[in-house]
A and B are shown apart, each in its own frame.
Chain A
Amino acid sequence: MMVRTRQSFWRGFWDCAPFMVIVVPYAMLFGVVARDAGLDIYQVMAMSVLVVAGASQFTALALMQEHAPVIVILAASLAVNLRMAMYSAALVPHLGHLRLRTRALISYLMVDQSFAVSVRKYAEEPDMKPDAKAAYYFGALLAVGPLWYICTFAGAAVGQAIPPMFSLDFAVPVCFIAMTAPMLRSLPHVVAAFASVAGAIVFSWMPYNLWLIAAALLAMIAGAQTEFYLKRKAQA
């Protein structure tokens, strides 16, 4: 029993290990950019430890620099993390049996890569034991989770040494565009992205960064409506 659990743990670790290639530079970039935005090293680390979500951290950072109202910063930064609610729902059948404390730990450290690897594994091996599933998940988590802290710190430590000629302010939009491009895999996603850009321009007159909330709502509705339309057309 113990042996099998340990085996699952390390299988999870190695299956998720290739994603280190993504997590290391991404975490470092956050450290560098956050220092460039004027945060001290404790603040940078506090963000990575408390929030543990790159997209939310970058969004909050960009909006804090503009001194947007707290409520707008929170709405936008939480919205980009809402996909985690879908992950949470998807994990219930596999990890819902664990103790509350363990589920809280899993939730705190939920990241895209370990989720993706684990769910794929659970689908491939439907008769995996509950203990093995949990061990596998924690293995996958260990491969990328701690790196998030370590590499944020590494980035923050070298961050201030990078001169302004490297235009680090532009690393934030570059990062967001690079993350968005691979998401455009269906027509509703493309429509939502276009509505989002159009909304940002049309609503740019709004105060308190409310243009961002307006554009995001418009884009979500555009995406969902396109999806409904395509479904209706397929059924007709």
Chain B
Amino acid sequence: MIPSALFWTVTILLGIGTFFIRFSFLGILGNRRMPEWVMAHLRYTAVAVFPALVTPLVLWPGGQGGETDPARLIAALVVFLVGLRFNVIAGILAGMSSLYALQYLLS
């Protein structure tokens, strides 16, 4: 369960934060340029956060100290390959259906 106080604190601050990220240049900074080294780091924020976030969820599902589940491991690989070759939605569909298939076969 997510505590209500935590939820509202995060959601409201996140709402303000995401707005100001989007409003940054359009509303405040205008045509000012960011230094190239800052832009170079910004380019990789998404590929820097997502894989790290996913790693424990795939390797140790069910929280820290959880056991590795072969079905989830293989399903994660399937999503990756299908997402790489085709697109996001195809990846999600292939991943979830392969998870169900593997859970059925391995049980």
Chain A residues within CB distance 8 Å of chain B = 21-22, 25-26, 29, 37-39, 43, 46-47, 50-53, 55-56, 59-60, 62, 64-67, 70, 73-74, 76-89, 91-93, 95-96, 100, 103-104, 106-108, 110, 166-167, 169-184, 188-189, 192-197, 199-201, 204, 211-212, 215-224, 227-228
| Distance (whole angstroms) from the CB of B35 to the closest CB of chain A | 12
Chain B residues within CB distance 8 Å of chain A = 1-3, 6-7, 9-15, 17-19, 21-27, 29-31, 34, 37, 39-59, 61, 63, 72, 75-76, 79-84, 87-89, 91-92, 95-96, 99-100, 103
| Distance (whole angstroms) from the CB of A234 to the closest CB of chain B | 15
Residue contact A181 to B46, C-beta cutoff 8 Å: no
Return the contact of B42 from the options A38, A83, A100, A172 (Cβ within 8 A): A83
Residue contact B47 to A170, C-beta cutoff 8 Å: no
In the A-B complex, the 10 residue pairs with the smallest Cβ-Cβ separation, listed nearest first, are A181-B83, A223-B44, A50-B15, A178-B91, A219-B48, A200-B55, A215-B52, A196-B51, A107-B23, A200-B52
Residue contact B91 to A177, C-beta cutoff 8 Å: yes
When distances are taken between beta carbons in the complex, the residues of chain A under 8 Å from B30 are 92, 96
When distances are taken between beta carbons in the complex, the residues of chain A under 8 Å from B95 are 174, 177-178
Interface SS, A side: helix
Given known A-B contacts A60-B10, A91-B25, A219-B48, A51 and B18 have beta carbons under 8 A apart? yes
17 A–B contact pairs at CB < 8 A?
A38-B2, A62-B57, A67-B6, A74-B13, A78-B14, A79-B49, A82-B42, A85-B25, A177-B95, A178-B91, A180-B51, A181-B82, A183-B47, A188-B44, A189-B47, A196-B48, A227-B43
Residue contact B23 to A104, C-beta cutoff 8 Å: yes
Residue contact B76 to A173, C-beta cutoff 8 Å: yes
Return the contact of B89 from the options A22, A56, A96, A100 (Cβ within 8 A): A22
Residue contact B26 to A92, C-beta cutoff 8 Å: yes
Residue contact B44 to A192, C-beta cutoff 8 Å: yes
- Contacts A59-B53, A177-B58 supplied; 4 other A-B pairs, CB < 8 Å: A79-B49, A177-B76, A177-B83, A183-B47
Closest to A86 in B: B42
Residue contact B18 to A84, C-beta cutoff 8 Å: yes
| Distance (whole angstroms) from the CB of B94 to the closest CB of chain A | 9
Residue contact B91 to A74, C-beta cutoff 8 Å: no
Residue contact A80 to B46, C-beta cutoff 8 Å: yes
Interface SS, B side: helix
Residue contact B99 to A170, C-beta cutoff 8 Å: yes
CA distance A72 to B57 in the complex (A): 17
CA distance A43 to B14 in the complex (A): 14
Return the contact of B10 from the options A38, A70, A188 (Cβ within 8 A): A70
CA distance A42 to B34 in the complex (A): 38
CA distance A26 to B10 in the complex (A): 21
Closest to A179 in B: B88
Residue contact A176 to B54, C-beta cutoff 8 Å: yes
Residue contact B1 to A38, C-beta cutoff 8 Å: yes
When distances are taken between beta carbons in the complex, the residues of chain B under 8 Å from A60 are 10-11, 14
When distances are taken between beta carbons in the complex, the residues of chain A under 8 Å from B75 are 170, 174
When distances are taken between beta carbons in the complex, the residues of chain B under 8 Å from A89 are 24-25, 29, 34
